[in-house]
């Protein structure tokens, strides 16, 4: 006897779920770079600027860099000089003396200490004084012939010109000022009183020229010049007489 058992119905095999895989590749095989943030860019710029500033400071301090942030440029807009007058000169400069003088002037204010008011200045001055012959002052009989080859010339003694102080070689060596004077000089166009010391220097230089042998040197040079000039004209005996003003 056979038993027939009902077999359960067969199920269809289940399909595996589909899985999609995407492979993304960068061009040329290089990984995509991330963009830097704004904060990192600012930090980099600030750091670079700090390094440059530090290098500049070190360079200026050590003298490697010569940097002048407040340098000035001078532009001369002045028009050219204009001729006003032409003069004929009859003055002969026979000699020139160069002199220097130290001017030591102290201004004191009564009843006030020097640190409050007063001034002590040392001015070093250098300049020149000329000894001149004025040929325009010759009289009609200033030149006397003595035969065919001898002549006598009578001239007035040399005169000293006005002292000329050299601004490039004259300067204020030192100056001590009180507080009041410093404040006053701040509003003054001539803070060091240079004009005053230039006038004092002219007086000193003139006195030095009068006490020197400048006039004697001028007479000797003029005599030599006239002997050479008249000698070319055929005069073998040239005498020069000097007329000096009476002492006052």
Q: Which residues lie below 8 Å from residue 113, measured CB to CB, with a gap of 6+?
A: 178
Q: Which domain holds residue 97?
A: 91-111+121-173+193-243
Structural domain contains residue 10: no
Cα atoms in the Cβ-side hemisphere of radius 13 Å centred on 217: 15
Structural domain contains residue 184: no
Structural domain contains residue 229: yes
The total number of structural domains that make up the chain: 1
**pLDDT for res 42:** 77
Nearest to 153 by CA among 139, 169, 166: 139
Integer angstrom CA distances of residue 67 from 49, 53, 59, 74, 172: 18, 13, 9, 18, 29
Per-residue pLDDT of the chain (248 residues; tens, 9 = 90+): 444 445 555 555 556 556 555 655 555 544 455 666 776 767 777 777 777 777 666 665 555 555 555 567 888 888 888 888 877 778 889 999 999 999 888 877 777 776 677 778 889 999 999 999 988 878 788 888 888 889 999 999 999 999 999 999 999 888 777 676 666 655 555 555 678 889 999 999 999 999 999 999 999 999 999 999 989 988 899 999 998 876 55
**pLDDT for res 181:** 60
Structural domain contains residue 141: yes
**pLDDT for res 158:** 92
**pLDDT for res 130:** 95
Structural domain contains residue 129: yes
Structural domain contains residue 45: no
Backbone angles phi and psi of 37, in degrees to 5: -80, 160
DSSP state of 82: -
């Amino acid at each position: 006897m056979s038993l027939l058992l009902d077999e359960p119905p067969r199920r269809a095999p289940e399909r595996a779920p589909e899985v999609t895989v995407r492979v993304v590749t960068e061009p040329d095989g290089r990984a995509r770079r991330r963009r830097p943030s704004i904060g990192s860019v600012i930090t980099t710029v600030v750091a670079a600027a700090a390094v440059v500033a530090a290098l500049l400071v070190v360079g200026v301090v050590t003298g490697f860099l010569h940097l002048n942030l407040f340098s000035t440029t001078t532009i001369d807009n002045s028009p050219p000089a204009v001729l006003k007058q032409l003069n004929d000169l009859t003055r002969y400069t026979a000699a020139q003396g160069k002199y220097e003088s130290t001017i030591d002037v102290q201004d004191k204010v009564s009843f006030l200490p020097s640190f409050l008011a007063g001034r002590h200045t040392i001015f070093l001055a250098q300049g020149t004084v000329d000894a001149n012959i004025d040929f325009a002052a010759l009289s009609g009989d200033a030149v006397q012939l003595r035969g065919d080859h001898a002549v006598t010339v009578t001239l007035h003694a040399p005169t000293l010109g006005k002292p000329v102080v050299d601004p490039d070689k004259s300067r204020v060596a030192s100056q001590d000022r009180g507080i009041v004077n410093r404040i006053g000089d701040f509003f003054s166009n001539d803070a060091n009183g240079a004009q005053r010391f230039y006038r004092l220097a002219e007086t000193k230089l003139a006195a030095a020229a009068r006490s020197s042998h400048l006039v004697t040197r001028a007479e000797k040079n003029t005599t030599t010049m006239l002997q050479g000039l008249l000698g070319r004209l055929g005069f073998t005996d040239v005498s020069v007489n000097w007329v000096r003003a009476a002492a006052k």
